Amino acid sequence: MSVKLVSASISRVSAAAALPNAAHAAAAVSVSPLSMSASLSGVGSSSSRSASLRTMSTRANRRTSCRDSAALGTPSTSTLTSSSAAASLTLTRSLATEVQRSATFTKLNPTHIANLAKCLSTPTTSILTTIAAPEAGIKAVSKDELDAYNNDWMDKYHGSSACVIRPKTTQEVSNVMRYCFQNRIAVVPQGGNTGLVGGGVPVFDEVIVNLSGLHQIRSFDEVAGTLVCDAGCVLEVLDNFVGEKGYMMPLDLGAKGSCHIGGNVATNAGGLRFLRYGSLHGNVLGLEVVLPDGTILDGLSTLRKDNTGFDLKQLFIGSEGTIGLITGVSIITPRKPNAVNVAVFAVPSFEAVQTTFTTVKQHCGEILSAFEFFDAQSFELVQGYATRSVRDPFEERHPFYVLIETSGSKKEHDDEKLEGLLEHLLESSTITDGVLAQDTTQVSSLWALRESIPEAAGKMGKVFKYDLSMPVEKMNELVEVMRARFEGKGMMGEGKGIKTVVGYGHIGDGNLHINIVADSYSPEIEAVIEPYIYEWIAEQNGSISAEHGLGLMKATKIGYSKSPTSIEYMKKIKAAFDPEGILNPYKYIQV
């Protein structure tokens, strides 16, 4: 048997609709119906199955527009009215934890605004505040103008900051932090505001230091593949920049059109390339960080090997802006592969998903770059609610789907490996159907089936998102357990509270994303989910946060994943860097 595979270029454009922000209205994508051909009814003369593997035979027309909203200084978040934010404030705090504003933090007044203006080269354009400081030329704006910074894109977390500062240089960040430290003014660092746990928006009235003004690419070594850039650079912009030089960023996220590289590092973002390229702990070579007291820690090394003393950058990777503001990043970028193939398979059971993964690793080990799974409910969600029109490439629904991506240097070699893999999967009835991309447009269309899930969930209703890691064999069990839990309480179904529960994620690293789509964010629904879901994860020796971080949502839940001794030493690290506790308070690890 011969399976014709057509290699696809790697210039995949991510589903820009991963986040429902203003840019996505302009980024609505139209995809024409995908007709399938080359059906293979069974494999081998002894096969009596009707399983089929099809290649995507028609070129889908795709239009995409990605407005770099972050570079314009506006976070990527839905703008909410002040009234809606106020109505949700109590609920927001209830959903995460009961916290009270620390009385030790200073409340802003016009004198503070005037002094903060002195920290900036262009204060009239770098400060947005509801507090006027006429002597510094700072005019007050309406509270509504700060909503995009005070509220997260999910409409779940709402702060009440009266001041947004948008510095343009590391020195300006240092000036601002020095003043805030000396006057004990609480600060929340903010990037593209694409987080999922409330880490990038204020809880109360903290000053927002938005880093979108730091968006310069400082240098790129085309021999070593090392990139040095400002923290406010948008991930997709960086990927396009290094892509023109034959390289690629080591991480890829659905939010890459809006998220900042500094925020990615601060949250140790995982993403879709983790299986092949690993975490940012291994890819970041150096960092420039402004400490809470304004000290600039310049560690922007581009060395691959440096065994001198403590590797301080590792403390800031994943620290969520609690011990320093990342202002510069040095990162290694891998070579862009010459050939990329993408396929989506329909799978009859979660056990078969695991078998498929094992088989794919055996056949495609060195070229496997992604292995994603999503259930039937996720698939239906995308079909019904995704911003971009993604046609169903299958003739009927299946319990599970897996997406695999291979990236190699030699097309013929990769095609041969995939041919052997697909024959084996079909002969063993491990998969029941499948489609292969034949060009870059179809690569994008297949990836959209997976990348559009979070955005579609947000369109359907209010989403309780959980990002968890656990043994692979347990991943779907938790999804089924949560569905049964809501069913048992009579809450499952339209108008009953819960619209759907979907499971998807990264099989390669045991990372499950479970999205519970509800009619509203309510404490009653949260009480059914928590702490049960965290207790279940703890029993599996898993983690309550695989890649999204802790933020406000999980600040008091870290004990489900870390020992008291570990937490105590984390608090000591926080105190060593931030003795006044001004940086991103109430979050991560509550002190």
- Three-state helix/strand/coil letters over 97-158: CCCCCCCCCCCCCHHHHHHHHCCCCCHHHHEEECCCEHHHCECCCCHHHHHHHHECCCCCCE
Which CA distances in Å does 110 have to 128, 136, 143, 202? 13, 9, 16, 20
| Dist CA 518 CA 521 (whole Å) | 7
Going by pLDDT thresholds of 50, 70 and 90, the confidence category of residue 437 is: confident
How far is it, in rounded angstroms, from Cα 173 to Cα 180? 11
Question: How far from the centroid of its chain's Cα atoms is residue 140's Cα?
Answer: 34
* Model pLDDT for residues 379-393, shown as the tens digit of each residue: 999 999 987 777 789
Hey, do 16-67+337-454 and 461-560 end up sharing a CATH topology, with the first three levels equal? yes
Categorize the per-residue pLDDT at 60 as very low, low, confident or very high, splitting at 50, 70 and 90. very low
Whether residue 4 has pLDDT greater than 90: no
Angle value at C-alpha 194, between 572 and 314, nearest 5 degrees:
35
Is the pLDDT score of 567 beyond 70?
A: yes
The pLDDT value given to residue 392: 87
Angle between helices 411-427 and 350-364 (to 10 degrees): 150
User: Is the separation of the CB atoms in 208 and 190 below 8 Å?
Assistant: yes
Strand order in the sheet with 226-230: 217-221, 226-230, 325-332, 284-290, 296-299
Q: For the CA atoms of the chain, what is the radius of gyration?
A: 24
Give me the pLDDT at residue 413, please: 83
- Whether the per-residue pLDDT at 331 is higher than 50: the answer is yes
CA distance 485 to 143: 41
Quote the CA–CA distance of 273 and 368 in Å, as a whole number: 10
CATH of domain 82-213: 3.30.43.10
Q: Residue 103, Cβ neighbours under 10 Å: how many?
A: 6
CA dihedral 42→47→51→56, nearest 10 degrees, is -20
Q: Quote the CA–CA distance of 481 and 474 in Å, as a whole number.
A: 11
DSSP code of residue 216: -
Domain-wise residue ranges, the chain: 16-67+337-454, 82-213, 217-332, 461-560
360 near 371, Cβ under 8 Å? yes
Q: What is the pLDDT of residues 343-379, one digit of tens each?
A: 999 999 999 999 999 999 998 888 999 999 999 999 9
What is the band of 39 on the pLDDT scale with cuts at 50, 70, 90? very low
Percent of residues, the chain, with pLDDT higher than 90: 72
pTM of the model: 0.82
Q: What is the average per-residue pLDDT within 112-126? A: 98
CA dist 152 and 157 (Å) reads: 6
Mean pLDDT, rounded, for 404-432: 87
Write the CATH number of the domain with boundaries 217-332: 3.30.465.10
Structure tokens at 108: 């802003």
Is residue 50 scored above 90 in pLDDT?
no
Mean predicted lDDT score pLDDT of the chain: 85
- Looking at the DSSP assignment, which residues form a beta bridge with residue 222? none
Enumerate helices (H) and strands (E) in the chain, giving the number of each.
20, 18
**Is residue 202's pLDDT more than 50?**
yes
Average pLDDT (262-288) is: 94
Residues 215-220: contacts with CB under 8 Å, at least 24 apart: 215/70, 215/71, 217/241, 218/328, 220/245
Query: Among the listed ranges 175-179, 402-406, 423-427, 544-548, which one has the minimum average pLDDT value?
Result: 423-427
- What is 16-67+337-454's CATH number, 3.30.70.2190, 3.40.50.300, 3.40.190.10, 3.40.50.280? 3.30.70.2190
The CATH classification of domain 461-560, taken from the options 2.60.40.10, 3.30.70.20, 3.30.70.2740, 3.30.365.10: 3.30.70.2740
In 3D space, the residue among 195, 189, 231 whose CA is nearest the CA of residue 210 turns out to be 189
Measure the CA–CA gap between 96 and 196, rounded to whole angstroms. Answer: 12
Confidence grade of residue 98 (pLDDT, cut at 50, 70, 90): confident
Tell me the pLDDT band of 538, cut-offs 50, 70 and 90.
Answer: very high
